[in-house]
Structure 1
Amino acid sequence: MNWTKMKKIAGCVAISGVAVCSLSLNDVACQTPAAEKQERQLATGDNKGFALVELYTSEGCSSCPPADELMEKLQVENAGKPVYVVAFHVDYWNQLGWKDKFSTAAFTSRQRQYSDWMNLETIYTPQVVVNGVSEYVGSNERSIVKAIDASLNRGTDNALTLKGRVDSDKVQVAYEVTGSTKDKTLYLALVQKKASSNVKAGENEGRHLSHVQIVRELIPADISGKSTTVKLPENLQQEEWELIGFVQNKDNGYITAAAKMN
């Protein structure tokens, strides 16, 4: 795939079929026709509701900083609630002048999978996906808050509990998933709570960017098992990270449970 072929489309850059934003911070960030579409119906069970909020972002995207700021605001406003924010930094902006040190191709692949599940024409930044069910422009606070509130009031068919013990540079994680696990995967997201960068090139050149809830690694675990071991990144102190787990349907992307390690 040739990532250098580009053309301008309605204020965005298209890279091999991928729409990425190049709008000013005063503009609406790359609204796609499928964005903010009506939520698909989840199965309703007896377990309490939750919201897993996935942000797809990049330090190379000038429309992304407001979305990063919104994620921090959501963290504060939903403290104590089962609302779990995770930020995946994608790598398709890295060809345009600035390499995001938190980005990986694996996170771009995950965003592409959502594009397939939701029948979207493109992937873009900043994008937010709530519980694998609905997607929004990442700075659209009103729609995202509405989706979170709806998710908190919707029952689920699974429940997840996580417990862990730190052992040097590793975490011994014990977990339990209740309810049907057919066609589902358990993921463990190793999350760095805060970070910042001084961007020296690209669309955000000269800016100091702050991030929250950065996924450093996404680890699939045996959903029928009871425990696993997660290696911690170097140079991260214990208070700087957390582990968030979630159960996801392999066929349609629906997330049916989420929890933070106790």
Structure 2
Amino acid sequence: MRPTKIFILAMLLMVATLGTKAYIGTKLLTHIKKESKGFAVIELFTSEGCSSCPPADALVAKIAKEDKDMPVYILAYHVDYWNRLGWKDAFSSADFSKRQNEYASYLHLRQIYTPQIIVNGKTEFVGSEEGTLRSAIKTNLQVASPAQLSLGISAVEKGQATIKYSADGTDSNTVLLIAVLQKNAQTKVERGENVGRTLSHVQIVRKLQKVALNSKTGTVNVSLPNGYDASGWELVGLLQNTSTGAITGAAKIKGTSATI
């Protein structure tokens, strides 16, 4: 049976309507991404000497890929207290173990552990809990940021980056933290709980520098680790309340541009 003119017109109208809805849906999703009220800072405490940590490392790698266009900031700190058990994590630092202990104090925890994730300095859970992490990200993206931070690099030379910053909505208890991150790395583990495994890491914190906010704007020099290059590394800034541990603002620099 041959289709009638009315049937053909109806089909064309339906296709046009569906196309419009698809376009609106795509446009709305783009708008949501651009107009996110808040942000999510994901701080993972991990170690190459911990057999429970690779799933958490894989989870934040997945989130980093999925949310690369969103105000989601991932920082992976390799703690040093696992080193005594047979394998020294080359990315580990006593400073990162100290930061985790500081969070234990803020959050009234009896002990520290790996893998642990802390979101915006306020919520903590086991680092491999994907559902909990996704829920925390969604919740924090919907809450307006208490403070605003913008960053820009004015120069990189002789192993130092000169960073200009502007911070609004802060109080006297707020400090600026600048994290220098290596975006990717792999390690073949030869001893310890992960012996024989090749581990992949993302967003590895190689340096964390604290800056006192004596004014809303300023300039700070940050020492860059050996091997730094703009394509494989990035810098992230955090505004943190030293009384509560809460992260109130965040921004990152990619190359020479900053993203709020």
Deviation sequence 1:25-80 (CA, Å, 0-9, x none): xxxxxxxxxxxxxxxxxxxxxx9300000000000000000000001100011111
Percent of matched pairs sharing the same residue: 46
Cα distance in 2, alignment partners of residues 182 and 49 from structure 1: 22
Contact 1:52–1:85 (8 Å) recurs in 2: yes
Aligned to 2:112: 123
Aligned to 1:93: 82
Establish whether residue 185 from structure 1 lines up as the match of residue 175 from structure 2: yes
Aligned to 2:247: 255
Aligned to 2:19: none
Aligned to 1:61: 50
Aligned to 2:212: 222
Aligned to 2:191: 201
**How far apart are 1:166 and its partner, in Å?**
2.1
Contact 1:56–1:127 (8 Å) recurs in 2: yes
Deviation sequence 1:58-114 (CA, Å, 0-9, x none): 000000000000011000111110000000000110000000011111100100111
1:72 corresponds to which of 30, 48, 61: 61
User: Aligned partner of 2:238: which letter?
Assistant: F
Aligned to 1:105: 94
Contact 2:207–2:225 (8 Å) recurs in 1: no
Establish whether residue 231 from structure 1 lines up as the match of residue 223 from structure 2: yes
Contact 1:181–1:223 (8 Å) recurs in 2: no
Cα distance in 2, alignment partners of residues 109 and 168 from structure 1: 29
**How far apart are 1:168 and its partner, in Å?**
4.2
**How far apart are 1:179 and its partner, in Å?**
1.2
Cα distance in 1, alignment partners of residues 152 and 37 from structure 2: 19
Cα distance in 2, alignment partners of residues 74 and 95 from structure 1: 31
Gaps of 5+ in 2: 1-35
Establish whether residue 170 from structure 1 lines up as the match of residue 160 from structure 2: yes
1:157 corresponds to which of 140, 146, 159: 146
1:114 corresponds to which of 103, 124, 130: 103
Q: Which has the higher helix share?
A: 2
Q: Could you say what secondary structure the match of 1:203 adopts? A: coil
TM-score norm. by structure 1 comes to 0.80
User: Aligned partner of 2:214: which letter?
Assistant: S
2:203 corresponds to which of 195, 201, 213: 213
**How far apart are 1:171 and its partner, in Å?**
1.0
- 1:136-147 equivalences in 2 (<5 Å): 136-147=125-136
Q: Could you say what secondary structure the match of 1:181 adopts? A: coil
Cα distance in 2, alignment partners of residues 104 and 153 from structure 1: 34
**How far apart are 1:169 and its partner, in Å?**
2.2
Contact 1:131–1:254 (8 Å) recurs in 2: yes
Cα distance in 1, alignment partners of residues 159 and 110 from structure 2: 42
TM-score norm. by structure 2 comes to 0.81
Contact 2:56–2:127 (8 Å) recurs in 1: yes
Gaps of 5+ in 1: 1-46
